[in-house]
């Protein structure tokens, strides 16, 4: 029998007499709070209290923690514009491999001014997210090296991070058509052919310490320079074209106007 209300208890007190007085007094004291439910055992008239269920005022909170891994989607027009910049780089043949860790045959520097002009609107979106995540405003973003990776079957990027910058990034202009099927047929428990794996140190209990993505054309990731990442090889035909860029950022400004250069 469940009782919830002072009036009901007062009636019971009259019926049961003083034997239950201490329980009744306890109940009357506790009933100042709205949410107590007291169960009463009919036999013997004794009452047994369940643990009170307090009102919970919100749904709980969690805190942004660790590196900001930002992802946004490029428009088809911007994808094409970036492809054009990469095609120009192929003619110029500015080999960038000596600065990189990739086991990739074709990694070329591209024009950073043209690149920056195209990605500027996305960096402005990044600024808003940066403010939400870190509680600070970005004042200035300066593009450093920008390069294109033409990754073919058997090639890969071992775990690495980017130096001489504050932020790094990668975006995708082309994914081999057969890569999706190759992933479906992949049996292992690893992160799958052509995937990118971001990781923070080693595994920790109850930590989300890694994110794995099977990139799609137009995916654009921005992340802190020290966030380790690696790319798995694949076996299918075609070229996985990605553009990486490093950025330096200035101290936080007092206003929200972002300067991008
Ligand atoms: Fe990288």
H or E element at residue 10: helix 6-16
Q: What is the mean pLDDT of residues 228-237?
A: 96
* Portion of the chain with pLDDT greater than 70, in percent: 78
The pLDDT score that the predictor gives to residue 1 is 35
What is the CATH class of 70-260?
Answer: mainly beta
Distance in Å, CA 128 to ligand 1 centroid: 24
The pLDDT score that the predictor gives to residue 16 is 42
Distance in Å, CA 42 to ligand 1 centroid: 71
Distance in Å, CA 204 to ligand 1 centroid: 23
Distance in Å, CA 61 to ligand 1 centroid: 33
Q: Where are the domains of the chain?
A: 2-49, 70-260
Phi, psi at residue 158, to the nearest 5°?
-70, 170
Three-class HEC string of 20-43: HHHHHHHHHHHCCCCCCCEEECCH
Distance in Å, CA 168 to ligand 1 centroid: 8
* pTM (predicted TM-score): 0.76
Distance in Å, CA 256 to ligand 1 centroid: 29
């Amino acid at each position: 029998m469940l009782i919830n209300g002072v009036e009901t208890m007062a009636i019971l007190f009259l019926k049961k007499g003083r034997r239950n007085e201490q329980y009744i007094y306890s109940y009357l004291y506790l009933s100042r709070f709205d949410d107590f439910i007291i169960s009463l055992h009919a036999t013997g008239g004794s009452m047994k209290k369940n643990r009170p269920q307090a009102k919970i005022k919100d749904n709980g909170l969690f805190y942004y923690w660790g590196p900001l891994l930002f992802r946004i989607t490029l428009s088809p027009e911007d994808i094409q514009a970036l492809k054009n910049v990469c095609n120009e780089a192929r003619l110029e043949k500015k080999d960038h491999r000596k600065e990189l860790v990739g086991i990739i045959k074709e990694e070329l520097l591209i024009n950073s001014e043209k690149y920056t002009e195209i990605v500027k609107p996305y960096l402005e979106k990044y600024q808003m997210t940066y403010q939400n995540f870190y509680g600070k405003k970005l004042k200035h973003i300066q593009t450093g090296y920008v390069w294109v990776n033409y990754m073919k079957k058997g090639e890969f990027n071992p775990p690495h991070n980017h130096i001489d910058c504050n932020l790094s990034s990668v975006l995708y202009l082309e994914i081999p058509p057969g890569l999706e099927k190759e992933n479906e047929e992949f049996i292992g428990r690893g992160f799958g052919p052509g995937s990118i794996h971001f990781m923070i140190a080693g595994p920790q209990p109850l930590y989300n310490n890694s994110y794995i993505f099977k990139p799609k054309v137009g995916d654009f990731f921005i992340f802190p320079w020290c966030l380790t990442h690696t790319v798995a090889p694949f076996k299918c035909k075609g070229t996985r074209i990605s553009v990486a860029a490093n950025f330096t950022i200035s101290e936080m400004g007092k206003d929200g106007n972002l300067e991008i250069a």
